[in-house]
Structure 1
Amino acid sequence: MIVMDAGSSRFQFRAGALIWRSGHVLIHRAVSDPFWALPGGRVELHETSAEALAREIKEEMGCAAAIGPLRFVIENFFELGGRKAHEIGFYYEAELPRPFPFHETDIVHRSRDTNTDLEFRWVRPQSFGPGAIDLKPGPLVDLIATSSEGVVHVVHRD
């Protein structure tokens, strides 16, 4: 995976998926995390971000995905666990070609990624925000709700 640690700082390259069903978007988190993210993961060396996303979906969700157009590029600066992080994230539209569990309020899928337990759920975009579902990185909350032509580039500092 493309990760570089330098002292108490980390750089990483991530790819994420915007997957829709019945007005809901699929999100996931490590069970131990208080925040949610779009499904995806870190890009490996010599792998495109779209290839990484397809691989991560297959590994974590157990099904193939059709990776669509690139929607967002987010340069994300944040702190997690006392470590400063700089993340470049490429976020694509994606489609699950075979049925994937859907329920409006329950966790619909669980998996294990190395030593991390993951859980997935479908949510309406209006569920994001203060006092509700905490989706990271923050700009995704507004970006998901908008439809735009081309790729949107955002620099976000937490």
Structure 2
Amino acid sequence: MNDRVMIVLDSGRSRFQFRAAALIWAQGHILIHRSVADPFWALPGGRVEFHEASAEALSREVEEELGSASIVGPMRLLIENFFELGGRKAHELGFYYDVQLHSPPPFVQDAIVHRSRDGDTELEFRWALPEQLSSFDLKPTALIPLITKLPSTFAHIIHRDHQ
């Protein structure tokens, strides 16, 4: 589809974006990914497009990045994330869902288990134990304590870096 438009609004040095992300588990580890050009990691997912439900966006992103159909389960977290990246102030709404993959990447500890391209960006994926996430510089940092002990019910978090 050539008319795909992600929900991103830039205004001067500020950016708003709408993102959906996956909580994918295997053997007590969570799947994380990053652009090979970035020093930080995130949960797999991506930006939501106009006229697309967040769960649909996540299913699309998982298929594009991991090459697997998925079952998107309930939304577990809504994080309003305020941060700076590349000299730009950002406000992100992140919807985090439980996701099961039909064809998950192999489970291998301490190794990159999958690589893919998203446009011009090369992505790499790996499994990480929740207690190791701070050593991966997982973003948003509000996820680290939440993933270590996920709330049993839906949670809405407001996270502000550097404030």
Give the TM-score band, short-chain normalised: over 0.9
The answer for the alignment partner of 2:40 in structure 1 is 35
Q: CA deviation at 1:59?
A: 0.3
Q: CA deviation at 1:99?
A: 4.0
Say which SS state the counterpart of residue 59 (structure 1) adopts.
helix
Q: How does 1:127-146 map to 2 (within 5 A)?
A: 127-129=132-134, 132-146=135-149
Q: CA deviation at 1:88?
A: 0.2
Deviations along 1:52-97, whole A, 9 cap, x unmatched? Answer: 0000000001111110110000000000011110000000000112
Q: How does 1:50-69 map to 2 (within 5 A)?
A: 50-69=55-74
The one-letter amino acid of 1:31's match is V
Structure 1 residues 33 and 99: CA distance shift in structure 2, 3 A: closer
The answer for the alignment partner of 2:125 in structure 1 is 120
1:110 maps to 2:110: no
Moved over 4 A (4+): none
The answer for the alignment partner of 2:157 in structure 1 is 154
Say which SS state the counterpart of residue 128 (structure 1) adopts.
helix
The answer for the alignment partner of 2:3 in structure 1 is none
Report how many aligned residue pairs link the two structures: 156
Q: CA deviation at 1:147?
A: 3.3
Q: CA deviation at 1:100?
A: 2.1
What is the TM-score with the length of structure 2 in the denominator? 0.93
Q: Give structure 1 stretches of 5+ with no counterpart.
A: none
1:82 counterpart (87, 90, 103): 87
Tell me how large the CA RMSD over aligned residues is.
0.8
1:25 counterpart (19, 24, 30): 30
What is the TM-score with the length of structure 1 in the denominator? 0.96
1:48 maps to 2:53: yes
The one-letter amino acid of 1:74's match is I
Contact 2:17/2:93 (<8 A) preserved: yes
Say which SS state the counterpart of residue 109 (structure 1) adopts.
strand
CA distance in 2, matches of 1:141, 1:99: 22
